[in-house]
Amino acid sequence: MPSDKQRRAWAEELNGSATCDGSRLAYDGPHAFGSEVLHRWRLGNGLTVLVLVDPVAPVVAYHTWYSVGSRHERPGKTGLAHLFEHLMFGETEHLGAGVFDRKLEESGAETNAATWVDWTYYHELLPADRVKLAVKLEAERMHRLILREPQVASEKEVVANERRFRVDDDVEGLANELLYKTAFREHPYRWPTIGWMQDIQGFTPEDCVAFYRTYYAPNNATVVVVGDVQERSLLSAMRDAYGTIPDQPIPPEDIVPEPTQTEERQIELHKPSASEKLLVAFKGPSLGDQDHALLTVLSEVLFGGRASRLYRSLVVDRELAIDVRGWVSTFRDPGLFECWVTARESRTAAEILPVLDEALSRVRADVVGEDELARAKARLELGSLQQLETASGKAEQIGFFEIVLGEPAHPFRRVDSLRRATVADLRRVARRYLVREARTVLRVIPERPTAEAAQ
Amino acid sequence: MRAARAQAGSLRFELDGGALALLEPSHDVPLVTLVLALRSGSAADPAEKAGLSRIAARMLRRGCEGLVAEQIDFRIDALGAEMAVETSPSTVAIHAQVIARNLDALVDLLARMISAPTFPEEELGRLKRETVSEIIEARDNDRVIAQKAMQRSLFAGHPYGLNAGGTTQTVPRIDRSDVIAFFRRHVVSGNLVVAFAGDVVPDRVPALAARLLAGVPRGSAATQDVPEPTMVSGRRLLLVDKPERTQTQILIGTLGTSPSDDDHVPLLVANAIFGGTFTSRLMKEIRSKRGWSYGASARAGIDRRRQAWILWTFPAAQDAGPCLKLSIELLEQWAAAGVTGREVSFIQRYLARSHAFDVDTATKRMHQTLDVDLLALPPDYFSGWVKHVGSVTAESASAAVKNRIDVDRLLAVVVGTATEVLEPLRSAVPSVSEVVVVPFDAE
């Protein structure tokens, strides 16, 4: 393995032939990533590159993370960040319509993208010897995307159909959207990443060009490469492909923090559905808060696995529910601690809520058992390892934690935090976050019973 | 016991009593995947008790000698393990994953579960109620509704038409004696395959497998004589009526090929051109040109007999008629004119190069070896994939489509709101022979 000194020598060597300041390469040092080492590089135009050489399989994951998500939108223009997830596969100055995908497919690559509140990322999984194709294509669409009426109109329609699929005809998607809309009143987390339907249908090419010119810039992006690559050769190709793309001034965020919630909010959603559903969401910590890992452990004690308290109570013992889930939102700003319960067909959310409340009161009042804590930690350790099984899994972890927290090796710090959690820690976070006044309660009420619908 | 390198690459150990053990080692992450599979599946379920094999396998977690259900659940979670049951017509399998340091403890627990299950009556009642609720809950998912309707209508009267998970009518009929009879017939040494993938050294596998299967009775593989399915003639439309749908789920199905057919790989190559990639014909016409649907794809399933070939897309309600009509036209063009040499060359490069992602983890490689055994696939089905794909020509691919995809024997299943979409759909299917509307909770 090359030493850090050799890496710096590579940078000097490559910089000898740099054609502009933007293409000057700097080595910013290593990060321990478990038993592996991740290397951080930076181009003169601000592009961050994180490389993890992983020769376990002849494949490479190439992820491009942009620090732009639905939090950067404004009312009336919601869904714009997500629309780009589609537009970015379109025509560019040097690639005709459909050529981006065909070139990747011809190389056997898989490609897709995802957008959420804090970020957007584009990913390719390629045979290792094809990595330079991803370099070339991603650099091209970072700066040379064509955004005219036909491209925008077609993708708006596709996104409208995606919204129908994920939200309008999906009762859980709809409930989730309504939950965040109700729980947040100021922060952009109150609108859905896919956008409101009327906003999607109203986008113009001018909206898209303005958004692209603002946020799609090397100094707002991090490229993560994990796989069987020759690091120096990769960096040389990246320098050549990205170096001439100018950096852009990224506007400072203009986000109003969510005011403290002081009273419980309740809402009902009436939709055709097989059963009632109950969502109880408390205001939670940001991903970077040390309480996040602790609340995640508490969520696991309550909802994770068949031995968890609420699974046993609601699904097994009382047979009120068919499914229970808990999740602490992994957002840059404080999000929600969501408790989801799906009632059995003949049971109601009204029957379930007191049982849930009682369980939540108990973790505020008493410490959980050491055996419960150990089980939760074991399950979370399993989940952490599962995320590192593939090159894509590693790249996703690295990119996500880099873009949200600026710490690409955070998954391992987080595992250490999970291991150190004590029963007293869990009671403390229960008392801090499971506060009735800071919660939103949503009930999904089936519009008509299944038997009626059958007639 | 002896070990040999299996065709697809996994280490293979033939165990006493006719059981088979497989290992695909990888020491990159301290995890182990363990699959315990039966060489028989839901196709053996009695029609009036569909779901039996799945219920029987799930009952393993509900009690064994010395442990009640709750204790088993607590132990699995404490080990940092997950365990789930997967059922298909040809196999029932317990899939587990565990932190490597706890593999021994998981093997010992699973050995107790399969060697001395107690099948408590009370737990069976609880599981049946839970299963019925899960079936009802799945009606919230329109795609699942469409898939179930396609399966039971396309394979009506055939074991492939049985719902592996059962229905709200069949699950309550299953009693304890059925579960015990299932176990006696199917959980015998010669009917079992145990597979490991991940952080295990080969030397440990024979002893681990022997411990796991120590209490399993000797016996030969359960014979499963599934007839070749046939397709009803004519073009049928089945509309599954669900209120307030802004969108429709459209499936068009017919029979594909059996993996042992000479034209199996040519059909898969042709299918990849038609609907297997983001730039396929379907995606180009339905999504890229018209923006009608977020997705459009086609897939040929594999099993011991001819499985279904299915086209899937999901346009808005107002586009359902035109989208179904276009889908059928594209299908007719594909069957009549086949594929071009240029298309075949392109897709061959895609399929050959993307093969790296079929084998990039130990678990994927292990599943390939398992599938060869459980589905009775040709021994080089996966290991010779790149070669087989490379030998396909435009002529062989086109012939496979023409011979196998019978455009006069099609079933279109649509989930949507009948008052809005029935008439446009009816007129979208040329020469439609039958139109049936059923409620979304029909089984």
Q: pLDDT at position B9, please?
A: 65
How many CB atoms are located within 10 Å of the residue A452 CB? Answer: 10
Contact between chains at B291 and A274 (C-beta distance less than 8 A): no
Q: pLDDT at position A449, please?
A: 45
Question: Going by DSSP bridges, is the β-strand pair B409-416/B249-255 parallel, antiparallel, or unpaired?
Answer: antiparallel
Q: Which residue of A has its CA nearest to B355?
A: A108
Q: pLDDT at position A448, please?
A: 65
Of B99, B355, B442, the CB nearest to A378: B99
Average pLDDT estimate for A386-411: 96
Tokens at A430, concatenated: 């229960």
Q: pLDDT at position B443, please?
A: 87
Contact between chains at A323 and B316 (C-beta distance less than 8 A): no
Residues of B in contact with A98 (CB under 8 A): 279, 284, 288
Please tell me the distance from the alpha carbon of residue A352 to that of residue A344, in angstroms, as a whole number.
10
Mean pLDDT (10-residue bins), chain B, 443 residues? 48 91 95 97 95 98 97 97 96 98 98 97 98 96 97 95 96 98 95 97 95 93 85 95 96 95 97 97 95 95 95 97 98 98 97 94 95 94 96 98 95 97 97 96 89
Pick the CATH number of A265-449 from 3.30.830.10, 3.60.10.10, 3.90.1150.10, 3.90.170.10: 3.30.830.10
Contact between chains at A382 and B99 (C-beta distance less than 8 A): yes
B129, B135, B294: best to mutate for the A interface, most A CBs within 10 A: B294
Is B228 within a domain? no
Burial class (CB in 10 A: 0-12, 13-18, 19+), A253: exposed
The single-letter code of the amino acid at A294 is L
Of A101, A165, A391, the CB nearest to B279: A101
Tell me the Ramachandran region of residue B303: left when phi exceeds 0, alpha when psi lies from -120 to 50, beta otherwise: beta
Is B118 within a domain? yes
DSSP A328-374: E---SS--EEEEEEEEPTT--HHHHHHHHHHHHHHHHHSPPPHHHHH
Is B252 within a domain? yes
Nearest to A51 by CA among A105, A11, A103, A97: A11
A111, A129, A165: best to mutate for the B interface, most B CBs within 10 A: A165
The single-letter code of the amino acid at A216 is Y
Count CA atoms closer than 13 A to A252's CA, side-chain side. Answer: 2
In angstroms, how far is the first alpha carbon of chain B from the final one? 47
Is B226 within a domain? no
The Cα of A377 is separated from the nearest Cα of chain B by a number of Å equal to 8
Per DSSP (E only), the strands in A248-404 are 265-271, 277-283, 321-328, 336-343
Q: Which residue of B has its CA nearest to A274?
A: B137
ipTM of the complex: 0.92
Contact between chains at B77 and A57 (C-beta distance less than 8 A): no
The Cα of A344 is separated from the nearest Cα of chain B by a number of Å equal to 6
* A4-242 and A265-449 in the same fold: yes
Q: What CATH number does the domain containing B380 carry?
A: 3.30.830.10
Alpha-carbon torsion A273, A275, A276, A280, what sign?
Answer: negative
**Contact (Cβ atoms closer than 8 angstroms) between residue A160 and residue A200:** yes
CA distances from A195 to A74, A78, A81, A87, A115 (A): 11, 5, 9, 15, 11
> Do B176 and B255 sit in the same domain of this protein?
no
3-state secondary structure of B372: helix
Please tell me the distance from the alpha carbon of residue B38 to that of residue B43, in angstroms, as a whole number.
12
Q: pLDDT at position A1, please?
A: 82
DSSP A376-391: HHHHHHHHHHHTTSSH
Contact between chains at A378 and B79 (C-beta distance less than 8 A): yes
In tens, the pLDDT along A183-237 reads: 999 999 999 999 999 999 999 999 999 999 999 999 999 999 999 999 999 999 9
The stretches of B306-361 forming alpha helices (DSSP H) are 320-337, 341-353
Contact between chains at A386 and B440 (C-beta distance less than 8 A): no
In tens, the pLDDT along A23-50 reads: 999 999 999 999 999 999 999 999 999 9
B113, B140, B349, B420: best to mutate for the A interface, most A CBs within 10 A: B140
The Cα of A439 is separated from the nearest Cα of chain B by a number of Å equal to 26
The Cα of B167 is separated from the nearest Cα of chain A by a number of Å equal to 15
Please tell me the distance from the alpha carbon of residue A431 to that of residue B193, in angstroms, as a whole number.
49
A85, A86, A101, A161: best to mutate for the B interface, most B CBs within 10 A: A161
Of B137, B279, B357, the CB nearest to A125: B357
Q: pLDDT at position A421, please?
A: 97
The single-letter code of the amino acid at A381 is E
Contact between chains at A108 and B442 (C-beta distance less than 8 A): no
> Do B169 and B253 sit in the same domain of this protein?
no
Per DSSP (E only), the strands in B171-275 are 192-198, 234-241, 249-255
Residues of A in contact with B129 (CB under 8 A): 319
- The domain ranges of chain A are 4-242, 265-449
Nearest to A403 by CA among A64, A62, A24: A64
Contact between chains at A306 and B315 (C-beta distance less than 8 A): no
Please tell me the distance from the alpha carbon of residue A319 to that of residue A17, in angstroms, as a whole number.
70
The Cα of B80 is separated from the nearest Cα of chain A by a number of Å equal to 4
Is B122 within a domain? yes
The Cα of A345 is separated from the nearest Cα of chain B by a number of Å equal to 6
Residues of B in contact with A161 (CB under 8 A): 247, 291-294, 314-316
> Do B246 and B202 sit in the same domain of this protein?
no
The stretches of B39-80 forming alpha helices (DSSP H) are 52-58, 69-78
> Do B337 and B412 sit in the same domain of this protein?
yes
Burial class (CB in 10 A: 0-12, 13-18, 19+), B80: buried
Residues of B in contact with A272 (CB under 8 A): 242-244
Q: Which residue of B has its CA nearest to A317?
A: B126
Residues of B in contact with A275 (CB under 8 A): 133, 136-137, 140
Q: pLDDT at position B7, please?
A: 43
Q: Which residue of B has its CA nearest to A378?
A: B80
Nearest to B325 by CA among B290, B366, B273: B290
Of A59, A161, A447, the CB nearest to B316: A161
Count CA atoms closer than 13 A to B136's CA, side-chain side. Answer: 29
3-state secondary structure of A60: strand
**Contact (Cβ atoms closer than 8 angstroms) between residue A372 and residue A347:** no
How many CB atoms are located within 10 Å of the residue B99 CB? Answer: 21
> Do B206 and B240 sit in the same domain of this protein?
no
Q: What is the DSSP letter of B330?
A: H
Please tell me the distance from the alpha carbon of residue A65 to that of residue A401, in angstroms, as a whole number.
11
> Residue A451's pLDDT band (boundaries 50, 70, 90)?
very low
Tokens at A445, concatenated: 């009420």
The Cα of A110 is separated from the nearest Cα of chain B by a number of Å equal to 8
> Do B290 and B167 sit in the same domain of this protein?
no
DSSP B395-440: HHHHHHHHHH--TTEEEEEEEE-HHHHHHHHHHHSTTEEEEEEEET
Number of H helices, E strands in chain A: 17, 12
3-state secondary structure of B64: strand
> Do B201 and B245 sit in the same domain of this protein?
no
> Do B256 and B209 sit in the same domain of this protein?
no
B83, B199, B244, B357: best to mutate for the A interface, most A CBs within 10 A: B357
Please tell me the distance from the alpha carbon of residue B358 to that of residue B202, in angstroms, as a whole number.
22
Contact between chains at B28 and A56 (C-beta distance less than 8 A): yes
Residues of A in contact with B80 (CB under 8 A): 378-379, 381-382
What total of structural domains would you count in chain B? 2
In tens, the pLDDT along A308-341 reads: 999 999 999 999 999 999 999 999 999 999 999 9
Please tell me the distance from the alpha carbon of residue A200 to that of residue A156, in angstroms, as a whole number.
6
3-state secondary structure of B199: coil
Please tell me the distance from the alpha carbon of residue A7 to that of residue A231, in angstroms, as a whole number.
9
> Do B190 and B325 sit in the same domain of this protein?
no
Contact between chains at B350 and A106 (C-beta distance less than 8 A): yes
| Beta bridge pairs of residue A38 | A31
| Beta bridge pairs of residue B434 | B236
- CATH architecture of the domain with residue range A4-242: 2-Layer Sandwich (3.30)
- Please identify, among B213, B248, B280, the residue that sits at the C-terminal boundary of a domain: B213
The residues, any chain, with a CB within 8 Å of residue A12's CB and separated by 6 or more, are none
> Do B169 and B294 sit in the same domain of this protein?
no
DSSP A233-244: HHHHHHHHHHTT
The residues, any chain, with a CB within 8 Å of residue A416's CB and separated by 6 or more, are none
Residues of B in contact with A109 (CB under 8 A): 353-354
Is B229 within a domain? no
Tokens at A393, concatenated: 């899994």
CA distances from B278 to A136, A387, B90, B174 (A): 20, 26, 31, 44
DSSP A372-429: HHHHHHHHHHHHHHHTTSSHHHHHHHHHHHHHHHS-TTHHHHHHHHHHH--HHHHHHH
> Do B305 and B176 sit in the same domain of this protein?
no
Contact between chains at A105 and B278 (C-beta distance less than 8 A): yes
CB pairs under 8 A between A and B: 191
Burial class (CB in 10 A: 0-12, 13-18, 19+), A349: buried
The label of the residue with tokens 């080692």 reads: B25
Please tell me the distance from the alpha carbon of residue B40 to that of residue B375, in angstroms, as a whole number.
9
Q: pLDDT at position A455, please?
A: 36
Question: Going by DSSP bridges, is the β-strand pair B81-88/B91-99 parallel, antiparallel, or unpaired?
Answer: antiparallel
Residues of B in contact with A323 (CB under 8 A): 137
Percent of residues, chain A, with pLDDT higher than 90: 95
**Contact (Cβ atoms closer than 8 angstroms) between residue A229 and residue A128:** yes
Please tell me the distance from the alpha carbon of residue B393 to that of residue B338, in angstroms, as a whole number.
11
Whether residue A254 is predicted with pLDDT greater than 60 in this model: the reply is yes
Contact between chains at A388 and B29 (C-beta distance less than 8 A): yes
Angle, helices B205-213/B103-115, rounded to nearest 10 degrees: 30
Range of the domain at B71: 2-213
Tell me the Ramachandran region of residue B51: left when phi exceeds 0, alpha when psi lies from -120 to 50, beta otherwise: left
The Cα of B7 is separated from the nearest Cα of chain A by a number of Å equal to 19
Is B134 within a domain? yes
